[in-house]
Amino acid sequence: MSESIAYLGMVLILGAFVFETKDMLDSKNWIYLTMMATGSGLLAIRAFLIHEWAFLILEVFWCLAALLALVNIRQKLPR
């Protein structure tokens, strides 16, 4: 099960990266950031389950960066 989590997270992060490098998504686009946050969150879960602490820290910070960017986008929307 944890391997499936890892593959899904990996696909989301790599997909976001490919879309960004092909100019299909901007790195500040909410879809890109959601893919990155979800993917890194899933990889953080996998890292926790297999006791890979350095990888866990990396993925938690990556996820938080994407989530904070999403919050910033939300705050800038007209009300």
Q: Confirm whether pTM is higher than 0.85.
A: yes
- Mean pLDDT over 15-39 rounds to 97
List of residues 6+ apart from 53 with CB closer than 8 A: 47
pLDDT at 76: 83
Give tens-digit pLDDT for 53-74. 999 999 999 999 999 999 999 8
pLDDT at 79 over 80: no
Give tens-digit pLDDT for 14-25. 999 999 999 999
- Mean pLDDT over 47-51 rounds to 96
C-alpha triplet 52, 4, 21: angle, nearest 5°: 85
Domain coordinates in residue numbering, the chain? 2-76
Q: Which two tokens stand for residue 51?
A: 């006791």
